[in-house]
Homo-oligomer: A and B are copies of this chain.
């Protein structure tokens, strides 16, 4: 306890706005009543508006990991081949889920510093002349590395290859903070969840579903019950759910979507791009590298910073947490101890970002890590030069 509010600057869960926290504290209501139906419809319509689809959405009381599973079990059959990409920790984890469910996974190796290569995707699909690959699964924003996949280019690659595989996209850490267009980009299943750009606590996840994916679901024979789209879609048309939904998080979802539209989705996305650039200017001034090495793929929602050789990222994070009450993201699996991650997604304004960066700069000083000072100054000058009045 040392005054003030904790700065939760991990790349999700994010700082939940107090409007949303209050919304989830509304009294729980009858999930079979007319009042609930209005809420259920509003929740599903809200998701549609953020995912940018006119199509189907199903919403689970579950973590994002559950929606990963849902995307697979509803569209695929035992032994089906899925093309996945080792973009980092989460791309690898999703491949593990697919494997556990009895699918054949081709995991395209990656360097954890860049997104899937559209040319490699095209080449691999062209080589699959028998169309054994039933689905291509891509993580939109790889939360472990701060790399955002170039989805429109990847979609174009699939189209050029004239390959019928479904396109499954994980938007877990991007949705609501990074531009995303389910329908326009021809995504078949979008996987998303509540606790990142949607500014909610964890506990909700969802799939947006293209007609082609829905068609595939009729043939898919992996066992499914909880994740089954069919009863969800049927009940959903009336705003209901086949089993008890997470009512109070739905209140929050409705409020969070309202907040996103009050600001305007395009403004929200611009805010995150601007915060990411400010963060990179601080990182560059300090003399550090970002884990992402492809300029067009820098994530708008988090920045993974590579520590100088011999320095322990976790010791730095611990120093920043204990001295300055700021949580940062750890390096995961192979990046453990080598990077730390600054989350700048969800509900965040310039002052809080600058407070975070100042805390990191102060932490570098406390931890005795050699760096150039002035990172925050660089960030604030960039923000000042690009600020617009409300």
Contact = CB atoms under 8 A, between A and B. Distances in A.
Interface of A: 1-8, 10, 12-18, 21-22, 24-33, 60-66, 69, 96-97, 100-102, 193, 195, 201-203, 222-226, 228, 242-249, 259, 262-263, 267-268, 271, 319, 321-327, 330, 346-359, 361-363, 365-366, 373-374, 376-377, 379-381, 383-385, 387-390
Contacts of A353: 355
Contacts of A228: 100
A202 B60 CA distance: 12
Given A203-B248, A223-B222, A354-B355, A324 B387 contact: yes
5 contacts: A5-B15, A201-B246, A322-B390, A361-B384, A376-B377
Contact of A249 (B64, B203, B365, B366): B203
Given A268-B3, A384-B366, A63 B64 contact: no
Contacts of A8: 27-30
Contact of A101 (B2, B223, B363): B223
Contacts of A224: 100
A3 B377 CA distance: 22
A1 B263 contact: yes
B330 A358 contact: no
Given A16-B28, A389-B319, A226 B66 contact: yes
Nearest to A16: B28
Q: Count chain B CB atoms within 10 A of each CB in A4, A60, A97 and give the residue with the most.
A: A4
A62 B64 contact: no
A351 B7 contact: yes
Contacts of A13: 28-31, 244, 247
A262 to B, nearest CB: 5
A269 to B, nearest CB: 11
Nearest to A328: B30
